[in-house]
C-alpha cells in the first residue's frame, strides 16, 4: 500500500521541491498548537530554512493539547507532510510541500509523553500558537487568572498539567532537576509583547507551583518577542476540494494562504535557533515592538473593523467587504488617520504604501477569509487592536470615528443577534457574560453601551471615564442600531 507521503511526492510536478528527505529530521523544536497558522507560517519557514541550511536537528514535534485529534491522525497518515498553496492577487499560485514536522501528537488526556519530549536535552525551543486566551491572563491587568479551572488543576496536579503554561513549567522543572539548560519559549501568537506575555504567565504559574523554580525561570529562560504576519483562512470543504482538484490528490492537511508573509523575531535564545532569516520575510531584530504595533493597529485593527461591520452587513468574507467602496474608504481612512498617526517606528516608514499593500491583500479573491473567523475572541483582541490607539488619539484631541464604529459593531456582534434577527455563533471566552449584558439591557442602548464599557477585562477605567470616548461609542452603536451596519459605514465614509 502506497503511503500518503509517497503519494504526495509522486505528484510533485505542481509543487516547489522540498529540498531534503524528511526522514533525516530530528526534533529540536516542540510546538504547542498544531493549527493552520503554525503550518502556514513557522513550520513552513522552518521547512525552507532546513532545506537552505541542511540543519536537520531543527525538525518540529507539533502537539495539540485541546482537541485536534483528527488533524493529527490525518497528518500522521501522511508522514506529517502537507501542502501550502500560496495565492497571489492576480490569481496565480505557488504550491509548496512542507515536511519540517517530524512528529505530531494529540495529547488530550495524558500529557506525560509530551512532557518527556519537552524535558529532553534535544529540545531547544518550545514555541506556541495558543491564542490570547491560552495565556490565561486578564487582558486589562496582565495578572494570571488564578481562579481558572485549568490553572487550578495544574497547580494541584503538576505531574500531568492541562495547559501550555503548566506543561512548560513542569518541563522546565524536570530540566532544572536534571541539570539541563532550559529551552527558549517562543510565542508565535498574534498578540502584543507576546514574549513578555508568555514570560509573565509562566513565571506567575511557576510561583504558584514552586517559588525556587519560578526564580530560576526568571533568571535563565529566554522569552523572545515575535511579530507574525500572514493571512491564513480556515480551510473549508470548498477550499479542500479546490486544492485537491488542482493537485490531483487528497491532502487532508492542505493549507491555502496568501503569498505575503513576515516574521520579525527578537534575537534572544537560550541554546541556539534556526537561521530563519535566510528565508525572505524573516528577520532578527533587537526590538520587535514597533513592527508589532504597526501590524496590530493597521492590519489587525482594520481586519476587526471589517469583521464586525462586514458580518453585520451580510458580507461573509473580507474580500467581499472590499468590493464595497464605502468599506474600502473607511478602512483606508482608519489605517492612515487613526492607526498610522499613533505609531513610532525606528526608521522612516511609508505608512501610506503599507496601507495600500494591506488593501491589496484584503482584496485577494483567492483568500476566502471569513469575517466570522476574524471576529472570534474579540474581548481579547479589542484592547490590543484599537484601545491603545484610541488613548493616543484622545490625548492628542484627534478623531477616532472608525475605531468607535468598530467598537459599536463589536457590541452588536457579541450581543448575539444579527440585523435579520438570526443568532450569531459568538466564539469568545467571555461569550456568556457578554450575552448576559446584552439581555439585561435590551432596548436600552445607552445603558447597554455603558455596561459593556464597564467590563474591566476589556476596557480600562481611563477610557470609561472619558466622556468623549463614551459619547463617540454610544453614537456609533446607535447609528448601527438605527441604520444598520452597511449604512453606518456609508455615513462615516461621507464625512471623512
Give residue-wise pLDDT tens across range 416-458: 999 999 999 999 999 999 999 999 999 999 999 999 999 988 9
CA neighbor of 274 nearest in space, from 129, 100, 121: 100
**Average pLDDT value for residue range 213-235:** 96
What domains does the chain contain, in order, with CATH numbers?
Answer: 4-285 (3.40.50.720), 289-495 (1.10.1040.10)
Q: What percent of the chain has pLDDT over 90?
A: 86
Give residue-wise pLDDT tens across range 363-403: 999 888 999 999 999 998 999 899 999 999 999 999 999 99
Q: What is the pTM of this model?
A: 0.84
pLDDT score of 11? 56
pLDDT score of 249? 87
Residue spans of beta strands (DSSP E) within 2-73: 27-32, 59-64
CA–CA separation, 165 and 161 (whole Å): 8
CB atoms within 10 A of CB 220: 13
In Å, how far are 47, 165, 353 from 38, measured between CA atoms? Answer: 12, 18, 28
What average pLDDT is seen over the chain?
Answer: 93
CA–CA separation, 131 and 295 (whole Å): 17
Give residue-wise pLDDT tens across range 126-174: 999 999 889 999 877 889 999 999 999 999 999 999 999 999 999 999 9
CA end-to-end span of the chain, whole Å?
Answer: 63
Cα R_g (the chain), whole angstroms? 23
Among the ranges given (9-13, 233-237, 334-338), the one the predictor scored with the smallest mean pLDDT? 9-13
Instruction: Indicate the DSSP class of residue 21.
Output: -
CA–CA separation, 40 and 43 (whole Å): 7
More confident residue, 233 or 22: 233
Residue with cell 509517497: 6
4: pLDDT strictly greater than 60:
no
pLDDT score of 1? 30
Give residue-wise pLDDT tens across range 452-472: 999 988 998 989 899 999 999
CA–CA separation, 58 and 20 (whole Å): 13
6: pLDDT strictly greater than 60:
no
pLDDT score of 14? 75
Q: What is the DSSP string of 89-105?
A: TTS-EEEEEE--EEEEE
Q: Which string of b and e fits 69-83 if b means at least 16 CB within 10 Å?
A: eebbebbbebbbbbb
Amino acid at each position: 500500500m502506497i503511503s500518503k507521503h509517497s503519494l504526495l511526492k509522486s505528484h510533485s510536478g505542481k509543487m516547489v521541491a522540498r529540498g531534503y528527505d524528511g526522514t533525516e529530521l530530528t526534533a529540536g523544536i516542540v510546538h504547542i498548537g498544531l493549527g493552520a497558522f503554525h503550518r502556514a507560517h513557522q513550520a513552513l519557514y522552518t521547512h525552507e530554512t532546513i532545506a537552505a541550511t541542511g540543519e536537520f536537528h531543527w525538525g518540529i514535534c507539533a502537539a495539540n493539547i485541546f482537541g485536534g485529534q483528527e488533524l493529527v491522525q490525518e497528518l500522521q497518515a501522511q508522514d506529517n507532510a502537507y501542502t501550502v498553496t500560496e495565492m497571489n492577487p492576480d490569481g496565480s499560485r505557488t504550491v509548496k510541500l512542507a515536511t519540517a514536522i517530524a512528529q505530531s501528537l494529540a495529547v488530550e488526556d495524558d500529557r506525560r509523553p509530551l512532557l518527556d519530549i519537552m524535558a529532553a536535552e534535544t529540545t531547544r525551543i518550545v514555541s506556541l500558537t495558543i491564542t490570547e486566551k491560552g495565556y490565561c491572563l486578564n487582558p486589562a491587568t496582565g495578572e494570571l487568572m488564578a481562579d481558572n479551572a485549568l490553572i487550578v488543576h495544574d497547580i494541584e496536579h503538576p505531574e500531568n498539567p492541562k495547559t501550555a503554561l503548566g506543561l512548560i513549567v513542569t518541563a522546565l522543572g524536570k530540566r532544572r532537576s536534571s541539570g539541563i539548560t532550559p529551552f527558549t519559549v517562543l510565542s508565535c501568537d498574534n498578540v502584543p509583547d507576546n514574549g513578555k506575555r508568555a514570560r509573565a504567565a509562566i513565571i506567575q504559574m511557576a510561583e504558584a507551583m514552586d517559588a525556587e523554580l519560578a526564580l530560576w525561570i526568571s533568571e535563565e529562560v529566554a522569552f523572545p518577542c515575535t511579530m507574525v504576519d500572514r493571512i491564513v483562512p480556515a480551510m473549508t470543504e470548498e477550499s479542500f476540494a479546490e486544492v485537491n482538484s488542482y493537485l490531483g490528490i487528497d491532502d487532508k492537511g492542505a493549507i491555502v494562504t496568501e503569498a505575503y508573509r513576515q516574521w520579525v523575531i527578537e534575537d534572544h535564545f537560550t541554546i541556539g535557533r534556526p537561521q530563519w532569516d535566510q528565508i525572505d520575510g524573516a528577520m532578527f531584530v533587537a526590538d520587535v515592538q514597533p513592527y508589532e504595533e504597526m501590524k496590530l493597529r493597521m492590519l489587525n485593527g482594520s481586519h476587526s473593523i471589517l469583521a464586525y461591520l462586514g458580518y453585520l452587513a451580510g458580507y461573509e468574507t473580507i474580500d467581499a467587504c472590499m468590493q464595497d467602496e464605502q468599506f474600502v474608504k473607511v478602512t483606508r481612512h482608519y489605517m492612515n488617520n487613526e492607526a498610522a498617526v499613533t505609531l513610532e517606528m525606528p526608521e522612516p516608514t511609508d505608512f501610506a504604501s503599507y496601507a495600500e499593500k494591506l488593501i491589496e491583500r484584503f482584496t485577494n479573491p483567492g483568500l476566502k477569509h471569513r469575517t466570522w473567523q476574524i471576529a472570534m475572541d474579540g474581548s481579547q483582541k479589542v484592547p490590543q487592536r484599537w484601545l491603545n490607539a484610541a488613548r493616543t488619539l484622545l490625548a492628542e484631541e484627534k478623531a477616532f470615528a472608525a475605531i468607535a464604529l468598530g467598537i459599536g459593531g463589536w457590541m452588536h456582534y457579541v450581543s448575539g443577534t444579527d440585523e435579520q434577527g438570526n443568532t450569531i455563533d459568538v466564539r469568545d471566552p467571555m461569550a456568556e457574560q457578554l450575552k448576559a449584558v446584552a439581555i439585561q439591557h435590551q432596548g436600552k442602548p445607552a445603558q447597554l453601551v455603558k455596561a459593556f464599557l464597564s467590563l474591566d477585562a476589556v476596557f480600562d477605567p481611563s477610557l470609561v471615564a472619558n466622556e468623549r470616548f463614551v459619547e463617540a461609542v454610544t453614537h456609533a452603536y446607535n447609528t448601527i442600531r438605527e441604520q444598520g451596519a452597511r449604512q453606518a459605514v456609508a455615513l462615516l465614509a461621507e464625512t471623512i
